[in-house]
Chain A
Amino acid sequence: MMNEIVLEVKNLKTHFISNKGTAKAVDGIDFVLRKGETLGIVGESGCGKSMTSLSILRLIPSPPGKFVDGEVLLNGKDLVKMSNEELRKIRGNQISMIFQEPMTSLNPVIPVGEQIAEALRLHQGLSRKQAWDKSVEMIRLVGIPSPEKRAKQEPFQLSGGMRQRIMIAMALACTPEVLIADEPTTALDVTIQAQILEIMKDLQRKIGMGIIFITHDLGVVAEMCDQVGVMYAGQIVEHRDAKDIFNNPLHPYTQGLIGSLPKLYEDQEELQIIEGTVPSPYDYPEGCRFAERCPFSTDICVQKEPSLIQYGDNAKVRCWKYTNEWQDSLAKEVLKS
């Protein structure tokens, strides 16, 4: 049974305009997030993952950022067209976000309990006392011992893992329908990472929210996500069920990514790498953005940009390789040589 859709992003484009030109940081992102589902967005640094999440909440500073095109539908209502006031009521209430760096995402001069209480007072109109009690409850929920004491402490008195739990408590205080987690465990060590992921899954079961999980860690994707979108150069190049992507990656970039993971039980001299570098966002090539680095590229890949095509029942891939045109183009090349 398919759950109902909470968030739908259609053709989202966010560009940055500077005197160097236009950087197409987010260049046509589409995805659908259902209730209780986790969508992973993976990709290397600078591919536009974080910009996508900030664009959804309309937190891109403008200028230099510019929203170019697209729709962000939350329960069918377009966030892009909303006034700031309407949007403010949605932020923290229906969509929340957790940031990468727990050390810098809490205000250093305000006790953490009050920071959590703030969201509750903003959106649920609770009194100071009620909000405080609820925030202590949230701190308990994310598994911090003696929450009454912790709530009164300031961020510098907490460890990184605890601060990230506080961030989660803050984000989830108003039981949002969508949680955007922007590399929430990147700054933490592995044991704490496992705890944080466990807490997030646990709270997801309780609240039933959809999670957009942004990461560059494929292991975390395997652990957390139902769906995965692989991003490359501002676009989603492959959209799959998480369980399929490791066994049978379609896009050459995804194949490269998964191939480059060190294998635990094999004695490897060198890790497999993807040749070349990511094209500059100021100057994307005309054809496929991965063509230059792709072992399968043919004339058509360099000439024309591929679209995200349906492959089988529940996979989408942005690659010519799975089309007849590619077969033709390959055949031509073979004939020529």
Chain B
Amino acid sequence: MTVNTSLVNTVDLVLARKKIRREKRRLFFSTLGQNKAAVVGGIIILFYISLTFLAPILAPYDPYAINLQDKLQFPSWTHWMGTDDKGRDILSRILYGSRLSLGVGFSSVFFGAFFGIILGLVAGYYGKWVDTIISRSLDVMLAFPGILLALAIISALGPSLINVTIAVGVFSIPLFARIVRGSTMEIKQLEYIDAIRTLGANDFTIIFRHIFPNILSPIIVQGSLRLATAILSAAGLSFLGLGAQPPSPEWGAMLSSGRDFLFSAPYMAIFPGLMISVLVLGFNLFGDGLRDALDPRMKK
């Protein structure tokens, strides 16, 4: 009899557990799915990411091949987005450029998140003078306008796409650190952190194994919103000639070279500009949706 009941219980529990898991997932996706804007944002992002992978298949021409005979052609069936002043196919360049723009966006956010998370965890967990030093330094960084900070870093390191990544990443550090610090301070005073400390866990274990997994939601939300800004800043820096150098098909750089032909060949600037704006819009919409689904407290 006892065996029987415990068996029944076990089966019930396993089922219940699966149900709870499913329910949790369903709730997350339904909150996200109900938000039409977030769905649109998600589709846009997926579309761009698929472009980066499919660029070699989709691109009709070599993005670097100069063909002066066909320069500055209006969009047509042979060149869907026209050609630039050196006769390169704009569509092909945009497809290959998606790798650069998204790549810079993602790597700079990872760079910023990595250092920001560590600084935030340390500041939030240890508090006192450690927190004071870290927080005040971050305040100083935040006090600089982002572009100015990036300009300073690039003028020190020299213009290149990698340096743009670093510059934009550095500016993301304080944003991540602040959010992580706040969440860490909130989690560290919870009882289970005391409980794990009474078991003799060291600071490293407490910080990375017990606090970090509990603060992932705000980090993910911040990351997705930050991606939009990062891509925009990177394109902006390239536009100013500080990032990707010609003939690189980075969208900001393409926009910059289209500037001289704005009246004679506006499509040279319109298409890269459009690509940037739609991508940034996508990340913003998706990030807002994620925030509502993952971290309702941050809702404005």
Binding site for B on A (CB under 8 A): 57, 59, 88-93, 95-97, 99, 101, 104-110, 115, 118-119, 122-123, 145-146, 149, 153, 156-157, 167, 170-171
Contacts and interface: CB of A to CB of B under 8 A. Distances in A.
Contacts of A170: 195, 199
A156 B192 CA distance: 13
Given A104-B192, A107-B214, A110-B210, A96 B10 contact: no
B201 interface: yes
B190 interface: yes
Interface of B: 6, 9-10, 13-14, 16-17, 20, 190-192, 194-202, 205, 209-210, 213-214
Given A149-B10, A157-B20, A96 B214 contact: no
Contacts of B210: 107, 110
B213 A123 contact: no
Contacts of A123: 200
B200 A99 contact: no
Contacts of A97: 195, 198
Contacts of B205: 118, 122
Contacts of B194: 59, 99, 105
Nearest to B13: A149
A118 B195 contact: no
A267 B199 CA distance: 47
Contacts of B10: 145-146, 149
Given A118-B205, A146-B6, A149-B13, A105 B191 contact: yes
Contact of B213 (A105, A109, A171): A109
A88 B202 contact: yes
A102 B191 CA distance: 9
Contacts of A145: 6, 9-10
A107 B20 contact: no
B186 to A, nearest CB: 13
Contacts of A101: 191
Nearest to A85: B202
B261 to A, nearest CB: 55
A57 B13 contact: no
Contacts of B202: 88, 122
Given A105-B192, A107-B214, A109-B213, A118 B199 contact: yes
15 contacts: A88-B201, A92-B200, A99-B195, A104-B192, A107-B214, A109-B214, A119-B200, A122-B199, A122-B200, A122-B202, A145-B6, A145-B9, A149-B13, A170-B195, A171-B198
Given A109-B214, A153-B17, A96 B199 contact: yes
Nearest to B16: A157
Nearest to B214: A109
B190 A104 contact: yes
A149 B200 CA distance: 26
List the 8 closest pairs (A to B, CB-CB), nearest first.
A92-B199, A92-B200, A91-B200, A97-B198, A119-B199, A105-B195, A104-B191, A105-B191
A208 to B, nearest CB: 20
A260 B253 CA distance: 82
Contacts of B201: 88, 92, 118, 122
Contacts of B9: 145-146
B6 A96 contact: no
Nearest to A108: B214
B214 A106 contact: no
A233 to B, nearest CB: 24
B191 A96 contact: no
A170 B200 CA distance: 11
Nearest to A122: B200
Contacts of A109: 213-214
Nearest to A93: B200
Contacts of B195: 97, 99, 105-106, 167, 170
Given A118-B205, A149-B10, A153-B17, A106 B192 contact: yes
- Most A CB atoms within 10 A — which of B14, B191, B196? B196
Nearest to A148: B10
Given A91-B198, A145-B9, A99 B214 contact: no
Contacts of B192: 104-108
A247 B190 CA distance: 40
Contacts of B14: 149
B198 A57 contact: yes
A99 B202 CA distance: 19
Nearest to B5: A145
Contacts of B17: 153, 157
Given A104-B191, A105-B191, A110 B213 contact: yes
A106 B150 CA distance: 43
A72 to B, nearest CB: 14
A28 B6 CA distance: 50
Nearest to A87: B200
A324 to B, nearest CB: 45
Contacts of B16: 157
A89 B200 contact: yes
Nearest to A95: B198
Contact of B197 (A59, A156, A157, A171): A59
Residue of A90, A92, A156, A170 most packed against chain B (CB within 10 A): A92
A177 to B, nearest CB: 14
B13 to A, nearest CB: 7
A171 B195 CA distance: 9
Contacts of A91: 197-200
A101 B17 CA distance: 23
A1 B286 CA distance: 72
